[in-house]
């Protein structure tokens, strides 16, 4: 079974500062995907960033980047130059590398950006 | 930009009643999913659907739940006899040939009273 753990239930950051959200996972799979999803107060799930496990290079998407440590099964999200609109719940998620497979989500980290 | 649409946004139902939650996935997508999120908890997988049949389901998805793609565009989740603990936000998602690129709808908040 796959499990995803987010050990930080709540975090806050000053506007324009950098924050890192932690995520660890457990799997026996070798090929898989990892994701960070953002859930603002509107409750919609929005994809922030994706990482394929076979890629050593860390994914980046504008102000968002990840630190993927496959051996340690760690997948942290760094948000640079935090903006007020980044305030949301952030979920780390795992998906096996088969077609039509399910996401396994962590319990989420509630991030508040302070003006 | 294409999006997954869910209706209604909020549904209130009495315990024991049947509810149908509706979703219109992105038109060229092949895989369809239902997830739920009980307030304050993590998002949980319910079921995935491909080629007109269920491909995976969780232990939450018992005999009270069913899914259907009745007309090639809609994707529905039916709960036959709702329980109080079914109260949650239900998310539909779809993905295309790039299976990892799943798009979520805005969710339907189901309240069972």
What CATH number is associated with residue B42? 2.60.40.10
Tens of pLDDT, residue by residue over A3-19, are 899 999 999 999 999 99
CA distance B105 to chain A (A): 7
The answer to the question of residue B110 being in a domain is no
The answer to the question of residue B112 being in a domain is no
Q: Which of A97-101, B17-21, B30-34, B41-45 has the lowest mean pLDDT?
A: A97-101
> Which residues of chain A neighbour B31 with C-beta distances below 8 Å?
99-100
> Which residues of chain B neighbour A33 with C-beta distances below 8 Å?
100
Tens of pLDDT, residue by residue over B26-48, are 988 888 999 999 988 889 999 99
A100:B99 CB<8 A: yes
Alpha carbon distance B112, A74 (integer Å): 38
The answer to the question of residue B50 being in a domain is yes
How many contacts (CB atoms, under 8 Å) link A and B?
A: 59
State the pLDDT confidence band at A100, using cuts at 50, 70 and 90: low
Closest chain B residue to the Cα of A42, Cα to Cα: B106
Into which CATH architecture does domain A3-99 fall? Sandwich (2.60)
Computed over every residue of chain A, the mean pLDDT equals: 92
The answer to the question of residue B106 being in a domain is no
Tens of pLDDT, residue by residue over A24-49, are 999 988 889 999 999 988 778 889 99
Domain limits, chain A: 3-99
At A4 the pLDDT is: 94
> Which residues of chain A neighbour B99 with C-beta distances below 8 Å?
99-101
Range of the domain at B90: 5-97
CA distance B112 to chain A (A): 19
A44:B89 CB<8 A: no
Could you give the number of structural domains in chain B? 1
CA distance A81 to chain B (A): 26
Is the pLDDT at A99 greater than 80? The verdict is: no
Please give the residue that has the higher pLDDT: either A100 or B68.
Answer: B68
């Amino acid at each position: 079974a796959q499990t995803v753990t987010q050990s930080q239930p709540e975090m806050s950051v000053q506007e324009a500062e950098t924050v890192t959200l932690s995520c660890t996972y457990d799997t026996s799979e070798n090929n898989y995907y990892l994701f960070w999803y953002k859930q603002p107060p509107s409750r919609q799930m929005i994809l922030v960033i994706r990482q394929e496990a076979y890629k050593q290079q860390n994914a980046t998407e504008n102000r968002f980047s990840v630190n993927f440590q496959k051996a340690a099964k760690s997948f942290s999200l760094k948000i640079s130059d935090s903006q007020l609109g980044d305030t949301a719940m952030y979920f780390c998620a795992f998906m096996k590398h088969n077609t039509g497979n399910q996401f396994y989500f962590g319990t989420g980290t509630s991030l508040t950006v302070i003006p | 930009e294409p999006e997954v649409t869910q209706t209604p946004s909020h549904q209130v139902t009495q315990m024991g009643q049947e509810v149908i939650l509706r979703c219109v996935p992105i038109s060229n997508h092949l895989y369809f999913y239902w997830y739920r999120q009980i307030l304050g908890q993590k998002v949980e997988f319910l079921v995935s659907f491909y080629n007109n049949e269920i491909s995976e389901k969780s232990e939450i998805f018992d005999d009270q739940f069913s899914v259907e793609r009745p007309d090639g565009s809609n994707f529905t989740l039916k709960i036959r006899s709702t329980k109080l603990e079914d109260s949650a936000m239900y998310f539909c998602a779809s993905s295309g040939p790039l299976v990892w690129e799943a798009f979520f709808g805005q969710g339907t908040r189901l309240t069972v009273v």
